[in-house]
Structure 1
């Protein structure tokens, strides 16, 4: 565990102390390993070195912002970190000065300004913006000076939202971004409210929660839509595991839940998906689980021709190798959509060694005319793909719209 005996001696007079750590572990189930706590330590100690201010609300809000922006890893990230460097090069007009850090520092002039402010040559050493202490300093100064956003009343700064006369952790989201909304449990929830909830818990850990958190924000944290991660994990498992068990897929769903906890602990998608490759292809073996409604929908789904060389309808061979034309087992992140040769499609990113080449192999969900009830009835199987989980064109748009941009999908065989 991060707080070794040496660490305890070193941090005993710091805000990063044993009481703080105990509160963090109580309220944030995901913040437990050395790397995550190391990121928190860099932010806390950076704040102490950088600021002579005693207002812990500033620090709590920066911790909450970092928690959200880094997907709960508390490590500086690259813009679109779930995509490749090639994607960033091809899609970001300001490449290579794309976002890096706890908050996204973009464009050459901003790298220059930030580097000058902290005394580091960030223009020529871009990835130094990913070092926790440097990323923390950029966040501190940027949020203090209002680097990121402004309006007709001036720059959006920490002092504008946290001062002797202001206490507005919801409005403080304007420092970084505007009114983003996410769908959680089927309901629209503003990112500002989510971060205000995290802020409340960090402020509690710093010892000021009871004195300085307003009732409205405390109630937001207690609500089911933005309750802390540790509580929502149990709620989701209680819904999803019995649903999966009804299909004899409890182990597959548990694997999905474990992967989410490992990779994306701040993510709580409404829809989850499993492809059961134990089943023949003429049966509906792509299952989508709806957290809000507590139900399951099922669809036909193809496998790769290399996975079924005898065209029996059963996938028996699997590979992660480009050109194998085989399906790959493992957990996928459902990513962005596009219009390709097969129509409206959705890219998949493999999260396991068994499917890590999915994007390189162009393994995507797309519609196909060889996946339909009519084809299955006539041939006692559906057609085979080059490895993609192709679906019935009649349902493809509905499938993609539910899963895109954040759901997890498991390609499973027992």
Structure 2
């Protein structure tokens, strides 16, 4: 029997008063079943291997910004189906002065999440994504870390195909000095179409740094909602019209003095850790459709990506002098439709834009670019490719 299923049955038995050897373990909230009624599982990582799966995650944290890119690599261990992000006293991942970070992401590109306007992107980063998604239900089961200067976070950000697609959703930030409180926040940054919102409830009956709990995030076209152990803790109306990518991060701020995360506490022993049991993503099956077994799932259509420009205004993507052979505002994904009614967003590796094509898009007309769809099995794609349609509009004569 699957280890996590055994654990879930055991925990449920404990919660029902059937008897447990360890009273502390009885407070762990049980893992959810992998299947979720009315939804299709589109991504999951149960962390049953020995290292992060490179097909699911990019093992770096915001690598554009520090001088030494090697500090962006996470330190962790995986054992018994648990991913333990760690920071030790002699860890090398000092991202900023005194700030040590161990984290990983589902996508990366040069200049992603320009959180400090004073900083310049210092490295050319390959544009890639193992997952990129719009709408659905996300879930993580995890245990946090207590201590001054420490916090654990699970958050989503825009991939910034358009530089204004900067929405940030902090599903949770949990501070080591207030470890039974969850901070759940929507940041708009440059995106003027949504508004800032935060909620930060405190739990009298949970010990988030001693027990595993289940954190859920539901994203619809109308807004976002966060849950802890199935109970709503934050909701906000926000029409986010573009996909987001995941970041999971663990922070130890040894320079903290009375900051948001509290003053650094040197008495907290190392290594410090943020434990993750699983991360899952689901798509809601629309009304009129029903769940299908995997062997019956079929692609029914792939929408072309579209980019509309004005004559003479096409520019390559340039972040602090790091130029890539792609036009600014190029969509990084396509929408893929299935026979169960769901739609997923799949990252595309577009063919590099040739000099000839770049000159052609400066003039009125249409240019087609092909691309490789990633993240889906070949048996499902069946040879299909993505298409990008670049339409350049002619300027009116009185604008010239």
**Fold equivalence (TM over 0.5):** no
Q: Whose relative contact order is higher, 1 or 2, with alpha carbons under 8 Å and at least 6 apart?
A: 2
TM-score between the two structures when normalised by the length of structure 1: 0.28
**Structure of greater Rg:** 1
Q: Which has the higher helix share?
A: 1
Q: Which has the higher strand share?
A: 2
TM-score between the two structures when normalised by the length of structure 2: 0.29
